[in-house]
Structure 1
Amino acid sequence: MNNRYSKGIIYCLLATISWGAMFPVMTDALQYMDPFNFTTIRYSIAGLAFAIILASREGIDGFTLKGERWVLAWLFGTLGFAGFGFLVFLGQRMAGASGALTASIMMATMPMLGLLTVWLLKKNRPHVSTFGFILMSFAGVLMVITNGNIEEVINSPLNMTANLLLITGALCWVLYTVGGSYFPDWSPVRYTTMTTLLGMISVIAIDIILIFNGKIAAPTLPAISIVTPHLLYMALVAGLLAVLCWNIGNKIITPTNGVLFMDIVPVTAFIVSALSGVVPSTIQLGGAGITASALILNNLNQRKLAKAKLSLNKMVPGQS
């Protein structure tokens, strides 16, 4: 293994470990501030940091939207930051003590959700075998969120709502990630920065509407003071550092290999949660293992299918 590939692995590990730890961090933060105000402040900090990086790398031209598909960029930014930030952490808070574990497992389903999304948007239908792994992945998720008691979850509107919010939030992030393919001429830093800044229009607007309608209270200075360490971690570590490490790492080892590191997210969340007193049950650990196995097996299957297709193309000249 060469040094460059080793660096790619380290970058992906740093990103996924950072993302895994963010759910236990949010468990504590959500005791003092609602997910809407927290997300607004978090992405305000992250957006400023990304803007500084873009300005230093691409100058003022990096912010130019003339002739660009800025409405589409705003839509993906809204999905990625308002959709993911609001829905996932609202779902986590509603899920209670086990919310961090459930949310982290939902993140591990993103590669599978991505296959379905690409099928819908790009008309690129997954192989039949892939659907088996998708079902296997969601079976694992079901074990984690129900802890073996499906009837209780079905009969609990609160739990059902929390789980729907989590899976919808995960889907929002998948759509945001796929959105990068619609801007092939934008660098990863520019796509991240511009969608963050445009998405913040929606984030702030939703937050203000909720405050004025009395749905949430305006953030107070004491509350902001208490969650400042959480905000800095979520904005600069789980946000800025993790995204940059993820982009760099995937560029080195390719997304096919990088996607396997999504398994680190629930593993990290489980470890941090256990250290803070929230120990997953045997059934939840088994469900996490099933979801992780589905991700790995699907990755190996995709490699096999790609190799077979390449061999076929060599045998049939002109086949694309």
Structure 2
Amino acid sequence: MKNSYSKGLICCLLATVSWGAMFPVMTDALQYIDPFNFTTIRYAIAGAAFALILLCMEGSSGFSLKGERWGLAWLLGTFGFAGFGFLVFLGQKMAGPSGALTASIMMATMPMLGLLTVWLLKKSRPHASTFGFILMSFAGVILVITNGNAADVMNSPLNLTANLLLIAGALSWVLYTVGGSYFPHWSPVRYTTMTTLLGMISVATIDAALVMTGNIAAPTLSTVSLVIPHLLYMALVAGLMAVLCWNIDNKIITPTNGVLFMDVVPVTAFIVSALNGVVPTSIQLAGAGITATALILNNLNQRKLAQAKLSVPAMAVSRA
């Protein structure tokens, strides 16, 4: 049991460190290629790898969509891969050199965004105290993205648009994650593979439309060759390995514990960015600390509320 829990912690750490490093990696890649073509090639590689894994684990039956909610799976795949991939990395590119820091801290807000999404979709209203932690979390985010000067961001259409894109991208991944609950009989590998393959329809269609209308240029072989290391990392490490580790660790240590590791994402991004010469300011570090504290306090609060719910039936039984 102890070894199994340790395995879960290691998997969780591997996943979140991988995701944290992907933003500085993208900072370099976006100097050579646009986020749309990059995302299309990235998920084509990751999708092929996932398909091979699913075939080995569940056989050809794992790909069958007969009688399944394939339309919903396509929509969720569109959110998770077209929405997240396009919006987050477009926002990161528009945000400039500090885009990796801003994008990574947005990822740490996903648990809070998840609570609001579950409330909207499943009518499960968060406890009143949770709203305080949500506001605290977003206060930290505001400090990071504004660097303490909200007026400059509000007066800059480019910065404002970049931040809105990052929030929309984070929300897209939350919708994709919550959507997994609508496929309880699908294994994590099947859900990831099928939504990736179906989502690629949207990814490829949007990318092709942008190329045909002249909004972006078609990638050349020389351009793609420059970002091969970035593609391999994003597809196989931050994509394939990280997602599989995340699914494994949440089964072992539960999502309640696993979500705490989302704080590792901005920490890793900040360290890697600093090594590359983009050093966060003291205000940005303070903002990241506020968001991390909100996440931890909310996690502890959720545990306390869950224990209180369990104690009520127990008291009722003992009195009977």
TM-score by length of structure 1 reads 0.98
Q: How does 1:46-65 map to 2 (within 5 A)?
A: 46-65=46-65
Superposition deviation, residue 147 in structure 1: 0.2
Is 1:272–2:272 an aligned residue pair?
A: yes
Q: How does 1:217-296 map to 2 (within 5 A)?
A: 217-296=217-296
Q: Report the counterpart of residue 77 of structure 1 in structure 2.
A: 77
Measure the CA separation in 2 of the matches of 1:59 and 1:51: 10
3-state DSSP of counterpart to 2:227:
helix
Per-residue deviation, residues 28-61 of structure 1 (Å, max 9, x unmatched): 0000000000000000000000000000000000
Q: Report the counterpart of residue 315 of structure 1 in structure 2.
A: 315
Q: Report the counterpart of residue 111 of structure 2 in structure 1.
A: 111
Measure the CA separation in 1 of the matches of 2:205 and 2:30: 21
Measure the CA separation in 1 of the matches of 2:269 and 2:3: 29
Is 1:144–2:144 an aligned residue pair?
A: yes
Moved beyond 4 Å, runs of 4+: none
Measure the CA separation in 2 of the matches of 1:223 and 1:196: 25
Per-residue deviation, residues 11-44 of structure 1 (Å, max 9, x unmatched): 0000000000000000000000000000000000
Per-residue deviation, residues 71-94 of structure 1 (Å, max 9, x unmatched): 000000000000000000000000
Per-residue deviation, residues 215-273 of structure 1 (Å, max 9, x unmatched): 00000111100000000000000000000001001111000000000000000000000
Coordinate RMSD, CA, aligned: 0.7
Q: Report the counterpart of residue 44 of structure 2 in structure 1.
A: 44
Q: How does 1:82-161 map to 2 (within 5 A)?
A: 82-161=82-161
Measure the CA separation in 2 of the matches of 1:29 and 1:104: 16
Structure 1 letter corresponding to 2:149: N
Measure the CA separation in 2 of the matches of 1:11 and 1:209: 38
Measure the CA separation in 2 of the matches of 1:180 and 1:297: 26
Superposition deviation, residue 314 in structure 1: 1.7
Q: Percent of counterpart pairs with the same letter?
A: 81
TM-score by length of structure 2 reads 0.98
Structure 2 letter corresponding to 1:254: T
3-state DSSP of counterpart to 1:316:
helix
Measure the CA separation in 2 of the matches of 1:4 and 1:218: 47
Q: Report the counterpart of residue 5 of structure 2 in structure 1.
A: 5
Is 1:31–2:31 an aligned residue pair?
A: yes
Superposition deviation, residue 163 in structure 1: 0.2
Superposition deviation, residue 315 in structure 1: 2.3
Measure the CA separation in 2 of the matches of 1:165 and 1:304: 34
Structure 2 letter corresponding to 1:208: A
Measure the CA separation in 2 of the matches of 1:7 and 1:193: 23
Superposition deviation, residue 316 in structure 1: 3.2
Measure the CA separation in 2 of the matches of 1:65 and 1:246: 25
Structure 1 letter corresponding to 2:108: A
- Unpaired stretches in structure 1, ≥5 consecutive residues: none
Measure the CA separation in 1 of the matches of 2:315 and 2:71: 44
- Unpaired stretches in structure 2, ≥5 consecutive residues: none
Measure the CA separation in 2 of the matches of 1:89 and 1:312: 46
3-state DSSP of counterpart to 1:279:
coil
Measure the CA separation in 1 of the matches of 2:313 and 2:97: 52
3-state DSSP of counterpart to 1:254:
helix
Instruction: Report the count of equivalent residues.
Output: 317
Structure 1 letter corresponding to 2:199: G
3-state DSSP of counterpart to 1:305:
helix
Per-residue deviation, residues 150-190 of structure 1 (Å, max 9, x unmatched): 10000000000000000000000000000100000000000
Structure 2 letter corresponding to 1:35: P
Q: Report the counterpart of residue 194 of structure 1 in structure 2.
A: 194
